[in-house]
Structure 1
């Protein structure tokens, strides 16, 4: 029996150096029924010429850096697979990674997405991410310690990219929110799946390796901070119940206000501007967000409290510190 086709979609911006490392780990996968699609986000480092060495790879070049979510969405328009594997140039895969992820989704029809254990590269032993839990304050809480010794697949609220998605379920949504340049686009989508009765999982037997900051370091830190502020709040307004939105707004406003006092003390005025700019963006884009909210809520099966009981964990002070940093 022929195995289902997997469309590997890689979004890159000036990532030729990393593509030289990551592409061979895809070519050497035990799972062979693959097509590879690379979305080139206006690279000027020779990526376009480098990719011509691989005529079997489908490519598309943007003439501006459109962000990760837009790149993934455009990649699906070129894809023919039963599954989409969304990735970045700075992620390397263990030989059995896709085999394990596909095997899981093939035997768990209620699951829309699955992720592997992500290890730091080049150390390759220390865990970077096992996904995230849900908390009504709109924080996503790391599953790293809770699932430290997990051997079997475990439900998680949100994945860390890269991850494998059932194409049919992805196509039932508008895809990644293209207003999110970077950060929280995967959480936003996973939340939609959970509230509609679908599921998302961590598959610990699958392994992948990620170089932290390889993409983010090419962008201004204040821009990334603003993205985190606006995307988190927007995802909550789109997906949360009214009580969740109220709790999230109260907690975010309090913590971001405290954060701005800290930035003021440190004379980091650009981060104060980024915080205010993020909130202003949320306000000015509210009509579009509310339209999206209406569509999403019409498909709701699980209340947020139910999702919390399925994939929730208590809030710890560690995560208060994270929100102050805009994470």
Structure 2
């Protein structure tokens, strides 16, 4: 009897070891990809630079045009890493909190709410401080999240994944239309934010990175602390409540962390889409559905994807640039269509 019991545990132990190896290999690979992406981001652009130029730029020298270009690319690279990580983690958290495989800050209208709030603040209240953009962006993102959930909860059955996706899509279109309606008559505001609407990190400065970093750290800590609760929510609300979880509180805290991340990221980089949709689904194939692994690995994957997308946007149209929001849309749109067509991805 003891031998049979011991034998029955072997497959489970082997499965755990196999997942452990995959997670370590995947984590290591993502770190390498992110480092390579950061090096490429600093090196490639409209102006070619040499290794000595890169070193001079990293040490703060602006004696040559190439060194100055490298020095300008450093905060741009840091912002791409931070924004990519924030969007990917917020997407993974929203998918886990809503048990909706189509959840994404842009698809659910959260990015659109942040953008509408920022544009409204500039056009009607004269906001000009980047730090105020962040606060207003987070408020707009929170308001959009509440509105989408309220619309998705109407009728019998509550907020199902399909209803949330539809409510988010409708809300995102409405927010985009309202933003355009505010910008079109205000050429002064439109000239400042026409590129911001597309989404990009080209305007990054050390001050921008320093201002957004505390908000992203707080949001990331809240999301990582919510990982065990998200694992419990994945079992279903009734079973999670039976295990002693405070379902509404857990979902509210996790969503709040995601809102802080995507609101702050949208404030400094514009409404960049699909990063929070593509990365979590790709990395679930490598590390599984355990959010204690999925969230930190998604941060690395999102940072690498957005940094590489920014490099591609700078290289393919030199000396002009393609904003990173366009590149991520070209990557994410086919993935979104494929995801919708997969019947077994209707729920997490």
**Does the TM-score normalized on the shorter chain lie above 0.5?**
no
TM-score (norm 1): 0.21
| Larger helix fraction of residues | 2
Q: Which has the higher contact order (CA 8 A, sep 6+)?
A: 2
Q: Give the greater-gyration-radius structure (CA).
A: 2
| Larger strand fraction of residues | 1
